[in-house]
Structures are given as structure tokens and as C-alpha cells.
Chains A and B, each alone.
Chain A
Amino acid sequence: MVILGLCASLGFANAQFLTMQNLFDLLTSYAFVGILALGLLVVLIAGGIDISFTATASVAQYVTLSLANAYGANWIGVFAIAIGIGGALGALNAIFIQKLRIPSIIVSVATLNIFYGLLIFFTGGKYIYSLPDWFATGIFWFEFEWGKDSSYGVNLQILALALTFLVTWLLLNRTNIGRQIYAMGGNTDAAQRLGFHIFGLNILVYCYMGVMAGIASLTQAQLAQSVAPTVLVGKELDVVAAVVLGGASLMGGVGTVFGTFLGLTLLAILQNGIILLGISSYWSPFFVGLVILISVSATAWSQRERRSQSASR
């Protein structure tokens, strides 16, 4: 609710905000965070947590594009490789969590370090600047004209973002697997007793996160026109913020795709609004932090109220 209000007020306050150009750019630049947020959402709903996705994304990006440069590939190829790598790294997380019975936060802290450390060690942190030409041009579908000279269309980032939103929504709301994931997050013991395939579900969930990381990594690479292995790690908190602001619970079993979308929007509007309003971008983290604090405090406070009002049984 807060988000809508913020949207509206910002829209009115600054004419520039609502321009197609701005919205378009916003969507494009936040695609990376958004796709990752969807992956994280699924993990959170299942009752787990993962913060190694930026490292997974970095690895996927680097390997895929190195291979593409060396051997040549096309769109399908690169996405397939990226998804494969992401999925594999995600599965690794799941195996550690399920088979070795280690808490998920610890596993993801560890794998973050492992993936990132090994990546930089083997690559020396070198950037890749030369990418295949077709990759550089990107996708530009549904072109149309709007306003003066510029033409707009659905580019790779927006396409990927939209597709992943759709797929995630379908998964969570329309497939049995999705509902099983919610169930597992809501009451793991019961899920086990009912014969749910807990291990399989977990592998799926963390693989999904890995796949999202793979996809997101490519959209980022295409946007930045380079592969920088050191740049992605550190963005975890933006992603967590987006998901949490959208109402997902760290406890599991709660969260929606729409909520995540709103959370993402809030984050984007906040950071963008600050720039447009002329406030130095140095202050943007401050405001983001403030909003996060206020938002989670408000949620916690209202939950407290609700809890003390309910019957004392």
C-alpha cells in the first residue's frame, strides 16, 4: 500500500519520472535485481535462504561468455550454458543443506566464498570486454515510436524479466510443485510426514535460484557490455531488500510474486526518485535503509498487534 502511495506522489512531484524513457531505463537496469529476487523468493517460501547467488551469477556469466567467445554460440546456446551452470551451483547448495544437514544460511555464506574465491583465483579478476557482436546488439522486439526520435521496444532485459515473472508466478500458483513448496515452508515436519519428497523439492528450489542467477547474469552482461567478475558480489542486499519489502518472510511459507514485484518497484522508485529529485546519489543508500527499517518495523508492529488481539488459546 505504501508503495502505491509513493509511486503516485513521486510521479506527481517530478514530471521526469513518468516519462517512457525513464520507466524504460528503470525496468532495464533493475532486471538483474528483479530476476534474482524471484529466485530468492522461491527459496524463502520453501523455508530456506541463499545469499550465494551473486557469486553463482558471476561464475555463470564468466564461463558462458568465455565459451561463447572461444567457440561461438547463439542466444539459445548461451542461455543454456548459463542456466546449466547456475542450476548446477544451486544444486550444490541443496546437497550441502539436505545431505549434510547444515543450516542454509551457513551453506550459502560458505558457497558464496567458495564460488567467488575460486572464480577470481582462476580468472585473476580480469574483465572481458569483447563480446560476440550479436550479443552486443541484443534483442529488440516490438519496436515502436514514442515521443521524439527514440524508439522503444522490449529489450533483452525487460523480456527476461517479464518471462521470469510469468514462469515464477505459474510455478507458485498453478503447479502442484509450487504449492508443495509453500507447504514445505509452512510446516516442514508435516510435509515430511505426508510423504513429500523434501530432498527433491529442495534441489528444485535451489536449482531454480541458480537458474535465475544464470539468466540474470546474462542480462547484466548484455547491459553492461562486459563481464566483470568482481562487480556483482555485494548486490545481495538489494535483492534481499526487494523480496523482503515485498512481504516475503524469512521464516518460510509466505510471499508472492506480486509482492516481490512491488518490493522491487519500491526499491527502484526510491533510488531513482532520489536521483531525479536532485539529491546526491551518495544519499541513496541512506534512504533505502530508512525505508527498509520503517517498513519492517511497521510490519512487525502490526503483527504484534494482531497477535495480542487473537484468542489466548
Chain B
Amino acid sequence: MATFLEMSGISKRFGGVHALRDVDLTLEVGEVHCLVGENGSGKSTLIKIISGVEAAEPGGRIAISGKEYPKLNPVYSTHCGIQVIYQDLSLFPNLTVAENIAMAHHLGGLHSVNWTSMRATAKATMAKIGVEFDPDAKVSELSIAGRQLVAICRALAADAKLLIMDEPTASLTRHEVNALIALVSELKRAGICVVFVSHRLDEVLEIAERVTVLRDGAKVGTFAADTIDGGKLSHLMTGKSFEYQIQAPELAAGPVVLEVKSLGREGEYEDVSLQLRAGEVVGLTGLLGSGRTELALSLFGMKPPDRGTIALDGRPIALRTNAEAIDRGIAYVSEDRLTLGLILNQSVTANVTLTVLDRLAGALGLIAARARQTHVARWVAELGIKVSNPANPVKTLSGGNQQRVVLAKWMATNPRVLILDSPTVGVDISAKDGIYEIIRRLAREGVAVLMISDEIPEVLYHSHRVLVMREGRLTTDVAAAAASEDALRQAVNA
């Protein structure tokens, strides 16, 4: 196979920090290559250097299709056929499909718009990958998967020879992921090199022909996909190895705290019945769209169900707002930490105290600064949050520490039921165990934990019982000890 891209000796420094150290990378024409690494490993910096947005330190070498490029900028790299699809897709939601797709050729420069030829280009490109959207529809009307396809079309229309996709499967259902994988094969056949950046090791191994692992800015190695497995990959990414073991139930599960009978909500889920016991960790998994988050929001009072009953300690309750749920001891950690779980610009203190403001107030309805400080200090200590000054904005913390702040916020409400939605997303593998330890501790203290997650191993190895939801229904309810990864995978996907 011919080599499309060859990079060697690539380094990059931001101030005193080495984002990349002497990295080399070779990409063949028509290859499917995956780039993996933890947050901070340098993956995004490397991508930015390939696409010309950032420049490597002098001394590095970049050659594309045999030609040397001592200096690469976005214009050159696009000219060479390098296209990047970022996680946010960089589409224009207020413009039509045709405009977005045909952007490169038709909308640069100062001439007048040729609507007909734009539509033609769009249709032709869409045909290449077998999709059909109305070229005059606004992109904002499409689903996330649809938009991703439009983004891919746009790259194709710009004569992409190398397509880099940053975490493309983050918001896709299994069906859509399968479709994407099939599409990648199509692209490969057309001679386009595809680079996936992903942290989902399962998928990485499924798609890739070769995998490059980055750690702390340096390349650990490039491997053929059939020579490694998930365990080895995560070992390479973190430098540590993690043994997965089934959790033995530490205590006999306590009394039933929350019981749900035949709960249903139009269009989202139906006939769901389950029980959550004190001290028990129940894992819930299922595809995106299976109704898991909706169920969680119903239990949290934000999306009241249409049918069925929720009973707390045996007594039926109706939750109309999340404030009511919190009062009764039900807390929910959202899957979207950055926009729903935390208020990034505000301080750690502000975030941690947000749920208990009324409680912190003293006699006159005023909150003493000391009360706030004490509260924060206590939780920083209890959960081991690494922060130099609680007055710093929470966005300065690492993913793992941010998640601890969120947990602190909710644990301060003394919940009896804690619902965690994808609690370790965006948390480095090495920090995940810290989160699991907190969950185990919660269980020891008698809290009923419902953990929702995409990752089957996570659910299997850290819960006492596992539930699976498919298309709005609860299809499986087994003890973790009695289940296996394969069986669960089948239940989720079948």
C-alpha cells in the first residue's frame, strides 16, 4: 500500500508543557487507523498539527503523498485532502444540507450563489455514500446521526483523501454505529484513509486495522488490531493494568427503598418495574434511545411518568419536580457533566454548595462564609477532590475531579437513592477506580445506587445486579454473578 502521510519527530509545546514529544506516525492510503489515548495524551494536538491548525516545533517532518511540507497550515492541508470532523461536527444548523455539503467549493470567495449546482453537488455526494436527505432541509432539523452523515458528505465533497473523525460514535445508537462502520469500509474502498479517534476500546478493535497509542505526549506504539485486546490497550494507554473482578456483594442488600411498578411514559419507555434496595448497586445498561435516561429523569421528578407507580419505603409518591425528589432523598447525576452537571465558570465552592443552599442558611436566612467553607472543606477531604483553591472555577479541574465535585454536590443532600448516569465518561481510566470506590462506599453506607452506563464491563463488574433496557422496556434483571459479558451484550443489542 502506498503511504499517504508520514510524520516524524513531531513535538509541540504550550508554554512549559510538552503536549507532544517526538511522535511519528505513518498512514497508508485507504487504511482504517485508530488513535487512542487518555485525556491529555496529545491526541487532539496531533490532529491539530495534521490539519495545520497548530504548527509543530521545528525539527519535525511532515510528508503528504510523498511531498514534504516544512510548514503546514489549514489551507495547505485541506488542499492535500485532509479533512477533520470534530466532535461538534462544525456544521451550520441554520443553513441547508446542500449549503453545508457544498461549502468548500461553492461558498468560498466572492461570487454569487449558484443554488442549482450546489444542490447537484450535494446530491451527488450523498449518493456516493447512499444517503438521501432533502438538500433544502435545514441541518438543524436532522438527527445527530444525520448531521454526522452530512459532515462526512462535506468532507467528501471537499475531495478528502484523509478523513479524521474525533469521537464520532459518542452520541450514536448501535444501529447508527453499525451504519457508520459500514460506511467507513466504503470509504476505504474508495481509497480514503480514515482515522478514528475514540476512547471506546470495543469499537476501536472492531474497526481498526492498526492502532496507535499515545500516552503523555509520546507514542507508545502502533499495533495491528489483531495482535492486541482491550486489556492490553488500556494497559498501554495508562501504563497500569486493571483487573476486572466481579463485585461480591459486601452486605446482604437491605430493605427495598424504591419500588417502581409498571411505569410508563409515552414515547419513551413502558411497563418498567424494578426494585432498588439499600446498599445495593444496580447497573442499568442499554442502547441510546432505550429509555434509560428518561426513566432516570422520571425517578428524579423531571419527567413525570404517565402510568404506573413509584413507591418510596412502600408508600406511593408522585414527583412533580426534581426539588420534590431531592427532598425525598433521590439524587441524579446527569450524564452530561459539562453542561448539566456543573456550572463550569463558577467556583468549586459554588458548585458544591448549590444543592444545599437553603440548608446552609442560618437564623436570619443568611449563609455565613464560614459555613460554606466548612461544607466544601469537608467534601473535598471526604472525596479526595484535588483542588488548590476552592474558589477556582470548576472548569480548571480534571475530568475525574470534576466528577467528584458533582458527586459531592449530590451526596451532600443525603440521598437514599442515587442515580448515576454514565458516571465515568470523560474520566481517565486511571481515575475511574476512584469513582468506583466512592460508589462502593455509598453502597456500604446504605444508599441504593442505580448506575446507568454504556460500558457493559463497567456495569457488570461494579454492580450487584444488572438491568438491561431495550426499546423502552426492561428486558433483563439478573444478579451480576449470574451474568456474563456476552450474554449482556446480546441482550443489549439483539
Tell me, yes or no, whether A and B come into direct contact in the complex with CB atoms closer than 8 A: yes
Counting CB contacts under 8 A, is B99 at the interface?
yes
Contact A179 B91 (CB under 8 A): no
Contact B112 A186 (CB under 8 A): no
Using an 8 Å CB-CB cutoff, how does the interface string of A204-230 with B read, 1 for contact, 0 for none? 000000000000000000000000000
Counting CB contacts under 8 A, is B223 at the interface?
no
Using an 8 Å CB-CB cutoff, how does the interface string of B107-123 with A read, 1 for contact, 0 for none? 11111110000000000
A187 contact set on B, CB distance < 8 A = 90-93
A191 contact set on B, CB distance < 8 A = 92
Count A-B contacts at CB 8 Å: 71
Contact B78 A195 (CB under 8 A): yes
Scoring A173, A174, A176, A177 by chain B CB atoms within 10 A of each residue's CB, the highest score goes to A176
A195 contact set on B, CB distance < 8 A = 74-75, 78, 108
> Shortest CB–CB separation between residue B150 and chain A, in angstroms?
12
Contact A313 B288 (CB under 8 A): yes
> Shortest CB–CB separation between residue A272 and chain B, in angstroms?
33
Using an 8 Å CB-CB cutoff, how does the interface string of A170-195 with B read, 1 for contact, 0 for none? 00011111111011011101110111
Counting CB contacts under 8 A, is B103 at the interface?
yes
Contact A194 B90 (CB under 8 A): yes
A180 contact set on B, CB distance < 8 A = 107
Counting CB contacts under 8 A, is A39 at the interface?
no
Q: Compute how far the CA of A180 lies from the CA of B112 in the bound complex, rounded to whole angstroms.
A: 11
Scoring B88, B107, B293 by chain A CB atoms within 10 A of each residue's CB, the highest score goes to B107
A176-B111 contact in complex given A193-B53, A313-B288, C-beta closer than 8 Å: yes
B window 26-77: CB within 8 A of A: 53, 74-75
Using an 8 Å CB-CB cutoff, how does the interface string of B431-459 with A read, 1 for contact, 0 for none? 00000000000000000000000000000
Q: Compute how far the CA of A301 lies from the CA of B86 in the bound complex, rounded to whole angstroms.
A: 33
A window 264-313: CB within 8 A of B: 311-313
> Shortest CB–CB separation between residue B234 and chain A, in angstroms?
28
**B94: which of A177, A253, A311 is its contact (CB, 8 Å)?**
A253
Nearest opposing residue in chain A for B158, CB measure: A194
Give the number of residues in B that approach A within 8 Å (Cβ atoms). 32
> Chain B at the A interface: mostly helix, strand, loop or mixed?
loop
Counting CB contacts under 8 A, is B289 at the interface?
yes
A176-B112 contact in complex given A312-B293, A313-B143, A313-B289, C-beta closer than 8 Å: yes
Q: Compute how far the CA of A180 lies from the CA of B104 in the bound complex, rounded to whole angstroms.
A: 11
> Shortest CB–CB separation between residue A247 and chain B, in angstroms?
12
Counting CB contacts under 8 A, is A88 at the interface?
no
Contact A174 B107 (CB under 8 A): no
Q: Compute how far the CA of A186 lies from the CA of B99 in the bound complex, rounded to whole angstroms.
A: 13
Contact A312 B294 (CB under 8 A): yes
Nearest opposing residue in chain A for B89, CB measure: A190
A185 contact set on B, CB distance < 8 A = 94
Contact A175 B94 (CB under 8 A): no
B112 contact set on A, CB distance < 8 A = 174-176
Q: Compute how far the CA of A183 lies from the CA of B98 in the bound complex, rounded to whole angstroms.
A: 13
> Shortest CB–CB separation between residue B83 and chain A, in angstroms?
11
Q: Compute how far the CA of A177 lies from the CA of B106 in the bound complex, rounded to whole angstroms.
A: 11
Q: Compute how far the CA of A195 lies from the CA of B111 in the bound complex, rounded to whole angstroms.
A: 17
Contact B90 A189 (CB under 8 A): yes
> Shortest CB–CB separation between residue A265 and chain B, in angstroms?
24
Contact B109 A186 (CB under 8 A): no
A190-B288 contact in complex given A174-B113, A195-B75, C-beta closer than 8 Å: no
A193 contact set on B, CB distance < 8 A = 53, 74, 86, 90
A312 contact set on B, CB distance < 8 A = 268, 293-294
A254-B75 contact in complex given A175-B113, A176-B107, A311-B143, C-beta closer than 8 Å: no
Nearest opposing residue in chain B for A177, CB measure: B110
> Shortest CB–CB separation between residue B304 and chain A, in angstroms?
13
Q: Compute how far the CA of A176 lies from the CA of B105 in the bound complex, rounded to whole angstroms.
A: 11
Q: Which residues of A contact B (CB under 8 A)?
A: 173-180, 182-183, 185-187, 189-191, 193-195, 253-254, 311-313
Beyond the given pairs A190-B89, A193-B86, 18 more chain A to chain B contacts, judged by CB atoms under 8 angstroms and listed by A's residue number, are A174-B112, A175-B110, A175-B113, A176-B107, A176-B111, A176-B113, A177-B110, A182-B94, A183-B92, A183-B95, A183-B107, A193-B74, A193-B90, A195-B78, A312-B293, A312-B294, A313-B288, A313-B289
Q: Which residues of B contact A (CB under 8 A)?
A: 53, 74-75, 78, 86, 88-95, 99, 103-104, 106-113, 143-144, 171, 268, 288-289, 293-294
7 pairs of A and B residues whose beta carbons are closest in the complex: A190-B90, A186-B94, A253-B94, A186-B92, A183-B92, A187-B92, A176-B107
